[in-house]
Structure 1
Amino acid sequence: MIELEYYTRKNCELCDNGREQIKLALSELRFNRVKLIPIDIDEDDALQEEYMVRVPVLKHEGEVVQEGLIDFVQVYDYLKEYLGKR
């Protein structure tokens, strides 16, 4: 199981669009053992301070995969490479 953390906030169009890009990348890979963990930065002051101008942010194993503008190609390429190493 791969766990991806997705830092977002409410009423964030970039966050909504990014979520769709992530879902599209996962469907193209035909890999369904991924858990997307949404994290609302507005629920934690420290997270809000760290990610306020960066959301959306997609992280895997503590490393940033992409932030700001999430796109299908980068998410797909990252996951394909990660899965190839396993």
Structure 2
Amino acid sequence: MKIQFYTKPDCELCEEAERMLHLVAEDYPLEWQTINIEEDDEIHEKYMLMIPVIEHEGQVLAYGNIGYIDILELIEQ
């Protein structure tokens, strides 16, 4: 599964979610593109109150406090 991971610098929730992505990717086929919302005004406007955000094929799958189990459930759908 390939996802987009929306984040921004100095975001503790984002850092924790990315650690969880790495843990899941150790055991499951998971790839992601990290996108800094501060580099694009439109994306910033869209996600500034939601980050971190996991998106797949244009659909938001998870946002906010994202844990290991949350990511695992997304992959197993």
Give your verdict on TM over 0.5: yes
RMSD between superposed Cα atoms in Å: 1.2
Which position in structure 2 is the counterpart of 1:84? none
Q: Which residue of 2 aligns with 1:24?
A: 23
Residues 31-78 of structure 1 deviation map (CA, whole Å, 9 limit, x = unaligned): 34x321000000011111111111000111111121011111111011
Contact 2:25 2:31 in 1 (8 A): no
**What is the DSSP-based 3-state SS (H/G/I as helix, E as strand, rest coil) of the residue aligned with 1:7?**
strand
CA distance in 1, matches of 2:15, 2:6: 11
Output aligned runs, 1:2-13, within 5 Å. Answer: 2-13=1-12
Counterpart in 2 of 1:14? 13
TM-score, with length taken from structure 1: 0.81
Please report the TM-score for the alignment, with normalisation by the length of structure 2. Answer: 0.89
Of residues 47, 71, 77, the one that matches 1:75 is: 71
Off by >2 Å, runs of 4+ in structure 1: none
Contiguous gaps of at least 5 residues in structure 1:
82-86
2:72 match: secondary structure: helix
**Does the CA contact (< 8 Å) of 1:26 and 1:76 recur in 2?**
no
Stretches of structure 2 that go unaligned for 5 or more consecutive residues are: none
Indicate the SS of the match to 1:55.
Answer: coil
Counterpart for residue 38 of structure 1: 34
